Every structure is written in C-alpha cells, then in structure tokens.
C-alpha cells in the first residue's frame, strides 16, 4: 500500500500579476484544499511546507528573460531536495501548489534519481521558449514555460540546474487535455512529445487514452512518471478560478477517469496540483470540486 505524504509548495513566482499592485492568488491553493479535509481524505502523512521566496519582480521588463529567475532557481532546488527525500524513502508525494513552475522541482528531483517521465494534465502545453516567441510571445512567466524548461529549452539558469538538462526527455512526456487548437501542437508532436487533446480524449475515452499513453513509461526505458495536474484543464463552466479560463476543457467525469488511471498506475511516483486561485472562487465551489477530484483519484 502506498504511503502518501501531503506537501505544500505555495509558490506564485511563475505568474504575472493579475492586476497592477497585486500578486497571483495561487499561493492560497494549498490552504484552500486542506480546508476541504484533503489530508484526512487522502490518509496522507503531513509533509509540511516548502516556503517560497517573496513575490517581487523588481524592475523587470519585457525582454529581460524569465522574471524571478534567481528566486525560481533557488526554490526549484529546495523543492527538489524535499521531493527527492520522499521518493528515496518510498513515499508518494502529493504536492499542492502554487503555479505550474513547481513542476520543475519534481522533474529535477526525478532527474537526480534517473530517467523518469511526466504525465501532464493541462489545458495548455506551457511550452513557450525562445525558439517559438514569434507564436507565443516573449518568455517571462515560468508558469507558462515549465514544460519547455524541463525538456531543456530556454534560460539555462532554470533549464540546466546542477548541469542536469534536460530533466525530462521529450519522448518521456505525455500531455493530456490541451485544447484542440493549441498553437504548439505541431511543434510538440514533431519533438516526439505525445499529446491527447480534449477532442481526442473524448473520442477515445479518458481511460483508454491514459492507458495507451503510458506505454513506454516503464523500465528499462523510464523508471516511472510524475503527474502534473493544472486545474485549467477543466472547462471554465466548472473551473473558472484559474488565470487563463479557456473554453473547451475537460468535464469533471472525464478528468476523474483520466486522473484515476494515471495516479493508480504502479509506475506513478507522485503528483502535483496547480493554478487554482481561491481569490477567483468566492463561494468555494471550484475548490471543493478540485479537492473531490484529487481525493477521489486515490480510491
């Protein structure tokens, strides 16, 4: 039986301010899900908090690269230290973010241990890098770039920590729930990254899509894989409390089936949850749904 440990990584360093003079509210995600009784519902051990640096972009301006780069690099290493410790102890970390840049901590931790893959459930590919700025705009927010960084694309200060670039090989990445018209689809597939869009998941069924995609993420090629769950994979009709509520997302039953197959695979070694912003969820319904989906996946 798995030994789950619940760990908070409440970093918002990878997102742009929602309005001048404000900071992204995703740092409240962990507290909001814990208020839904997630620790007890998972039967998890308490893992504590990896406290992030202060959100302060200083005099950063467009063209300066990734903002908070030094703070993000330091935080990624600290988070990786904690995740690595749990993985070496045979525990299964459930990491509550935070924005999507926390995925880098998990990817670095796994890279220290060997070759692992990533199953990313995300409404967008988060694949912005200097080579596709003509399509995606200039780099800046790591929360929209973490997959590119984890696969060795982009600013070396984040993409090559400890000289371990890439943390993930392209062929070991699986993407689920990207919107069908995502501008990065052609580039992703050309790189060998396997993608199941919302339409494809609907056509094939969430469970079959997940099981098929896991082919290859097994020894001797990969020792296992991590699940990255971004709340914006859900349609905004049920999950409006995200920074980019794009239409055409998965519905709760579809995500429940997909997530259940992935986290219950014996090769899955951990999961993180990101992007839900309690500041955008005044009645708490979206947070309650997300907690239900995370807790329900482990039944």
pLDDT at 33: 98
Q: How confident is the model at residue 216 (pLDDT cuts 50, 70, 90)?
A: confident
Q: Which CATH number is 93's domain given?
A: 3.40.800.10
User: What is the overall mean pLDDT for the chain?
Assistant: 96
Is 20 exposed, middle or buried, given 0-12, 13-18 or 19+ CB atoms closer than 10 A? exposed
Report d(CA 162, CA 47) in Å as an integer.
Answer: 25
pLDDT greater than 90 at residue 192? yes
pLDDT at 100: 98
- Per the structure, how many domains does the chain have? 1
Please state the pTM of the whole predicted model: 0.97
Domain with 84, as residue range(s), is: 4-297
Condensed to tens digits (0 to 9), the pLDDT of residues 251-294 reads 999 999 999 999 999 999 999 999 999 999 999 999 999 999 99
Condensed to tens digits (0 to 9), the pLDDT of residues 3-22 reads 999 999 999 999 999 999 99
Q: Nearest 5°: phi and psi at 75?
A: -70, -40
| 76 within 8 A of 158, measured Cβ to Cβ | yes
């Amino acid at each position: 039986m798995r030994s789950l440990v619940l760990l908070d990584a409440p970093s918002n360093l990878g997102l742009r301010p929602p309005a001048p003079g404000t900071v992204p509210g995703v740092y409240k995600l962990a507290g909001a899900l814990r208020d839904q009784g997630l620790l007890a519902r998972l039967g998890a051990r308490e893992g504590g908090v990896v406290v992030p640096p202060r959100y302060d972009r200083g005099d950063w301006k467009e063209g300066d690269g990734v903002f908070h780069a030094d703070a993000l690099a330091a935080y990624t290493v600290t988070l990786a230290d904690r995740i690595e410790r749990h993985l070496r102890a045979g525990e299964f970390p459930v990491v509550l973010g935070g924005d999507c840049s926390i995925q880098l901590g998990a990817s670095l931790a796994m890279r220290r241990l060997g070759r692992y893959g990533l199953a990313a459930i995300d409404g967008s590919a988060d694949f912005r890098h200097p080579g596709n700025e003509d399509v995606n705009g200039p780099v800046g927010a790591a929360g929209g770039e973490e997959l590119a960084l984890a696969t060795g694309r982009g600013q070396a200060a984040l993409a090559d920590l400890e000289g371990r670039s890439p943390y993930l090989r392209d062929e070991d990445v699986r993407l689920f729930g990207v919107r069908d018209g995502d501008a990065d689809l052609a580039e992703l597939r050309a790189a060998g990254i396997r993608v199941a869009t919302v339409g494809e998941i609907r056509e094939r069924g969430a469970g079959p899509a997940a099981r098929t995609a896991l082919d290859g993420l097994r020894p001797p090629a990969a020792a296992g894989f991590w699940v990255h769950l971004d709340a914006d994979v859900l349609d905004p009709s049920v999950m409006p409390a995200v920074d980019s509520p794009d239409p055409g997302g998965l519905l709760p039953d579809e995500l429940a089936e997909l997530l259940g197959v992935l986290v219950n695979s014996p090769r899955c070694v951990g999961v993180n949850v990101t992007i839900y912003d309690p500041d955008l969820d005044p009645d708490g319904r979206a947070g309650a749904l997300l907690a239900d989906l995370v807790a329900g996946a482990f039944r």
